[in-house]
Structure 1
Amino acid sequence: MSHAIILPILVPLFFGALLLIGHTWSRQVRRGISLVGCLALLPVCLYLVGLAGAGQLQVYALGNWAAPFGIMLLLDRFNAALLLVTALLASLALIYACRGEDEQGPNFHALFQFQLLGINGAFLTADLFNLFVFFEVLLISSYALLLHGNRANQVKAGVHYVVLNLLGSSFFLIGVSLLYGLTGTLNMPDLAARVASADVADAPLIKAAAYLLLIVFGLKAAVLPLCFWLPRAYAAAPASVAALFAIMTKVGFYAIVRVFTLVFGEQAGPLANLGHELLWWLALPTIAFGVIGALGARQLQALLAYLVVFSVGTLLAGFAIGNAAALSAALYYTLHSTLISGALFLLAGLVVAQRDSAGGDLQQERVLRQPLLLGCLFFFASISVAGLPPFSGFLGKMMLLRAAEPGWQAWSLWPVLLIGGLLTLVALSRAGTSLFWLGHGADAAPSKAEPADRISLLAALGLLLASPLLLIAAKPILAYLEAAAAQLLDLQPYLSIIAGGAA
């Protein structure tokens, strides 16, 4: 049992608590401590990726209490990759925040660390109740981070965000209580075995509990019709916070994949593959909703938020198809969409800072101080997020289209995804024209803002470079993710954890 598995939880917990104790310390000291905490996660997560890459499931039993009685953490290729992406995204977003955004409110760095604690814990836990606990940790932190700056639009968006997620938490508790009452366990591998052997009379109640969990996870992932909170919330958040929030919808997607593959997968008897068909018919409208929202957006941050919704629909389509090729394509697209969305939110922050009172409004009122530099970065990010070659978005979408089964799946997915990509490019072109085309608007006044901070620019560029790097290193990355998809669909090693066999 490797103790490194618990470090992605302990490191942000320790640094978050330290930053709360030292809330009166100087700003530079708090920034330094927070950066050390984030950067320390990178080698830890790299090690965990290598550990999971050996192919054996890694189990960590807290207090050395054997599953299913103790609290269990589980590491496989899937969550190891997500932990590494989270550490990279958080490190660059925090570097950006340390250039001034962290000064807009109190305890920013402690909240940032606790947000990471919740995200990492949700990825690692193998217990449904502890998944609920880590969801609450990340949600409470995100409530405060969303309000960082205390602007009127943040408060309005925050109220909707809090109310909906409190409702989701209530559904989560009801679903978990039902499952525990019917099966006597919440440990996911143990729950999988008990659901498979459940009494036929209990099947309807187990199914109801599963759909309650699906509603909760769909709310976290922002699946239509549970996604209306996301555009306003992400558009109101500071740039560094919105960049970190790019991973939050992936937590919901991860929970859907983990629970509905392990607990309600092929071994679940009459409940096998529960929700797959429903998710398929929710994925396609989610893609369409994201595209329509992006086309109608009047603000840059709102447009980017709708693109997050578009990516969620794409990921769900990959999971709902159900084969290993589609799942590996969805995992690759998860890495791409998380990092490129983070880059776009950071770029949006740099653009807004140079537009004076115009902010993120998509109209030519101010000529940017650095239109060529920021315009070029936005151009390359737009090509990548729209799925055009030669960037990683193109490869992810191409793999997903090829994985669709011939027949009704292909006939429904291909037009939605391809037309959606085209309209996404139209929306981003309109935004780029409004923001960067100097010839538009003869009365446009030049911006008096300072040039973009170099370190903030490098943070955004670091995330943006992830797209070509994902393509350059596609062979080893895809080999890893294909093995991760095969591992997720092979349930016997997970079930053997409880049976006492080798993981």
Structure 2
Amino acid sequence: MTQHLAILPILLPLMAGALVLMSERRGILAQRAIALTAMAALLAVAIALLWRAGRGETLVYLLGDWPARLGIALMADRLSALMVLAAALLALPCLLYACAGWDQRSPHFHALFQFQLVGINGAFLTADAFNLFVFFEVMLIASYGLMLSGGRNVRMRVGLHYVVFNVTASTLFLIALGVLYGMLGTLNMAEMALRVGQAPAGNLPLIQAAGALMLLVFCAKAALLPLYLWLPEAYTRAPAAIAALFAIMTKVGLYAVLRVGTLIFGPLAGALAGFAWQWLLPLGLATLALASLGVMAATRLRALVAYLVLVSAATLFVAFALARPETIAAGLYYLLHSTFVAAALFLIADLVRRSRGEAGDRFGVAAPMHRRAKLGLVFLVAAVSVAGLPPLSGFLGKLMVLDATPAGQAGWVWSIVLASSFIVIAALARAGSALFWRVEDDGVPMRRPVRAVETGAVLLLLGYGVAMTVAAAPVLDYARATADQLLDPQAVVDRVRQTPPQLREPSP
């Protein structure tokens, strides 16, 4: 079974999604049982994959048993294993929250949820650029169904904008892949890394154009300026459990930028080494500045959290663009933190909306919430973490990014990161006071029930951040080793190209 470990994060949710579709007539309890069992199995596989990668192994799986240069390959290195585990850890509380009742209002929810995990895990594990496109499409098609299911009015309009934007981006991605295949003769990433460096000078302009188009698509999916306008409304209008799961979708785009930038256009790319990388830092800083203003301008908690997703994505672009082992390691730590805390805030926003009656999650006077002290305390922990205040993981992540910034770039990076953090703190303080303190004196407290499983899902996500704070040393050690592996692509290229097919004699 261990030789198939690299494909199990794709196969498990794929099989679970098919089983859920076949069991829909048996009722929601059967669907939940299949989905939760599959999630437990996926989490176990992700932990095993991380353990193998943490020992320095790079697992390569040849689909169809063709040599890597001819067929499709999967690859699980340190970065892939980390991202698969992050997706599994995030998906579990999102699924638990939906199982409190929302899943009954969305047709085929559990099947679409599992297929979304197929796309996310496949994007993290593939070693082939075309299959990166395929898994992007699986992920996006499932997200269309999850977002539009049961939607009306504004959510339907925003969802259609989301669909059109991503279909356009996917078309550009496919065009870029066609040009790259015509120029290089392969879409295996390890082989592309070598052939870009060996390409004739006359082919470099077309390779540059296709590479720029591909990176543009990844930056659009990661919501980099000026291609982030689709995200705030889409995430604001999505159902809470879905918006929480979507917190990792911008990270898929960031993962693709990091993988392509360090492998295909890394040190082996000759004249194209570091192609377009110099643009990521100024664009990341500009995105960070504008996103923090969006946080301050938000009039609803869900919109504020959507802009916080942009803030985290921009901070990661800044960390990765500095292209040093220390900043990439700090960025990976911050990636995990920001994914979990943003998801927790989307769920908290839903609890607040349901507890304030007609006022919803808008920043205005409303009747007092039932048990508002407990909900306010949960919001406070999440706010402290996402704002980067000590002692939680957000503070450690930002501090490490700033500490690792080279002296020549420290002025702009420190100024914008610290200014944006101050704006975020002010916006969260305003939101907290408006939601939990500005109440009608004679209002009757709302008594809409909050189920224990919903509270547990929120606490689990916040618990991840606390665990990352307590276990910061081993997490950072893994992140540093991951950064070193990313910046030394020759070992990965050799591992993929030298993996032999497992040819067997025919059975009697």
Under TM normalisation by the shorter chain, which class is it? over 0.9
* Contact 1:364 1:444 (C-alpha < 8 Å) held by counterparts: no
Q: For structure 1, which segment, 261-270 or 351-360, has the greater mean C-alpha deviation from structure 2 after superposition?
A: 351-360
Alignment of 1:213-228 (within 5 A): 213-228=214-229
- Counterpart-to-counterpart distance in 2, 1:170 and 1:443: 55
Secondary structure at the aligned position of 2:362 is classed as: coil
- Corresponding position: 1:306 with 2:323: no
Alignment of 1:93-172 (within 5 A): 93-172=94-173
Q: Deviations over 1:308-361 (max 9, x none)?
A: 000000001111001100100110000100111111111111111111122221
Q: For structure 1, which segment, 63-72 or 120-129, has the greater mean C-alpha deviation from structure 2 after superposition?
A: 63-72
Q: Check 1:145–1:37 CA distance in 2 against 1; reply closer, same or farther (3 A cut).
A: same
Secondary structure at the aligned position of 2:61 is classed as: strand
Offset of residue 104 of structure 1: 1.6
Structure 2 equivalent of residue 410 of structure 1: 410
- Counterpart-to-counterpart distance in 2, 1:499 and 1:35: 37
Amino acid at match of 2:462: L
* Contact 1:362 1:434 (C-alpha < 8 Å) held by counterparts: yes
Offset of residue 151 of structure 1: 2.8
* Contact 1:369 1:446 (C-alpha < 8 Å) held by counterparts: no
Offset of residue 149 of structure 1: 2.9
- Corresponding position: 1:383 with 2:381: no
- Counterpart-to-counterpart distance in 1, 2:487 and 2:111: 38
* Contact 1:370 1:451 (C-alpha < 8 Å) held by counterparts: no
Secondary structure at the aligned position of 1:185 is classed as: coil
Amino acid at match of 1:183: L
Offset of residue 499 of structure 1: 4.5
Structure 2 equivalent of residue 497 of structure 1: 495
- Counterpart-to-counterpart distance in 2, 1:396 and 1:214: 25
Q: Give 2:465's match in structure 1, choosing from 457, 463, 467.
A: 467
Offset of residue 414 of structure 1: 0.2
Structure 2 equivalent of residue 322 of structure 1: 323
- Counterpart-to-counterpart distance in 2, 1:431 and 1:404: 32
Q: Deviations over 1:230-255 (max 9, x none)?
A: 11011101111011000100000000
Q: For structure 1, which segment, 379-388 or 355-364, has the greater mean C-alpha deviation from structure 2 after superposition?
A: 355-364
- Counterpart-to-counterpart distance in 1, 2:257 and 2:314: 13
Equivalenced residues, count: 499
- Counterpart-to-counterpart distance in 1, 2:340 and 2:474: 18
- Counterpart-to-counterpart distance in 2, 1:444 and 1:126: 62
- Counterpart-to-counterpart distance in 1, 2:142 and 2:376: 33
- Counterpart-to-counterpart distance in 1, 2:469 and 2:497: 41
* Contact 2:67 2:499 (C-alpha < 8 Å) held by counterparts: no
TM-score, normalised to structure 2, is 0.96
Structure 2 equivalent of residue 429 of structure 1: 429
Structure 1 equivalent of residue 482 of structure 2: 484
Amino acid at match of 2:416: V
- Counterpart-to-counterpart distance in 2, 1:152 and 1:434: 27
Amino acid at match of 2:56: G
Secondary structure at the aligned position of 1:445 is classed as: coil
* Contact 1:118 1:135 (C-alpha < 8 Å) held by counterparts: yes
Q: Check 1:161–1:481 CA distance in 2 against 1; reply closer, same or farther (3 A cut).
A: same
- Counterpart-to-counterpart distance in 2, 1:20 and 1:12: 12
* Contact 2:118 2:138 (C-alpha < 8 Å) held by counterparts: yes
- Counterpart-to-counterpart distance in 1, 2:446 and 2:378: 21
- Counterpart-to-counterpart distance in 1, 2:491 and 2:67: 16
* Contact 1:148 1:238 (C-alpha < 8 Å) held by counterparts: no
Unaligned runs of 5+ in 1: none
- Corresponding position: 1:397 with 2:378: no
Secondary structure at the aligned position of 2:87 is classed as: helix
Secondary structure at the aligned position of 2:192 is classed as: helix
Offset of residue 31 of structure 1: 1.0
Amino acid at match of 1:467: G
Alignment of 1:193-342 (within 5 A): 193-342=194-343
- Counterpart-to-counterpart distance in 2, 1:372 and 1:448: 13
Offset of residue 281 of structure 1: 1.1
- Counterpart-to-counterpart distance in 2, 1:275 and 1:5: 31
* Contact 1:172 1:213 (C-alpha < 8 Å) held by counterparts: yes
Secondary structure at the aligned position of 2:265 is classed as: coil
Structure 1 equivalent of residue 443 of structure 2: 445
Structure 2 equivalent of residue 41 of structure 1: 42
Amino acid at match of 1:364: V
- Corresponding position: 1:3 with 2:4: yes
- Counterpart-to-counterpart distance in 2, 1:499 and 1:157: 44
Structure 2 equivalent of residue 455 of structure 1: 453
Offset of residue 375 of structure 1: 0.4
* Contact 2:268 2:490 (C-alpha < 8 Å) held by counterparts: no
- Counterpart-to-counterpart distance in 1, 2:495 and 2:473: 31
Secondary structure at the aligned position of 1:74 is classed as: strand
Q: Deviations over 1:165-192 (max 9, x none)?
A: 0110111011101100000000000000
- Counterpart-to-counterpart distance in 2, 1:103 and 1:64: 42
- Counterpart-to-counterpart distance in 2, 1:442 and 1:220: 42
Secondary structure at the aligned position of 1:87 is classed as: helix
- Counterpart-to-counterpart distance in 1, 2:66 and 2:199: 25
- Counterpart-to-counterpart distance in 2, 1:62 and 1:54: 24
Structure 2 equivalent of residue 60 of structure 1: 61
- Counterpart-to-counterpart distance in 1, 2:163 and 2:367: 35
* Contact 1:392 1:467 (C-alpha < 8 Å) held by counterparts: yes
Q: Deviations over 1:281-300 (max 9, x none)?
A: 11001111210111001111
TM-score, normalised to structure 1, is 0.97
Offset of residue 446 of structure 1: 2.8
- Counterpart-to-counterpart distance in 2, 1:444 and 1:424: 32
Amino acid at match of 2:474: P
Unaligned runs of 5+ in 2: 501-508
Amino acid at match of 1:25: R
* Contact 2:116 2:143 (C-alpha < 8 Å) held by counterparts: yes
Structure 1 equivalent of residue 193 of structure 2: 192
Amino acid at match of 1:301: R
* Contact 2:366 2:440 (C-alpha < 8 Å) held by counterparts: no
Q: Check 1:444–1:272 CA distance in 2 against 1; reply closer, same or farther (3 A cut).
A: farther
Q: Check 1:498–1:379 CA distance in 2 against 1; reply closer, same or farther (3 A cut).
A: closer
- Counterpart-to-counterpart distance in 2, 1:199 and 1:444: 77
4+ residue runs over 2 A deviation: 440-451, 497-502
Offset of residue 10 of structure 1: 0.2
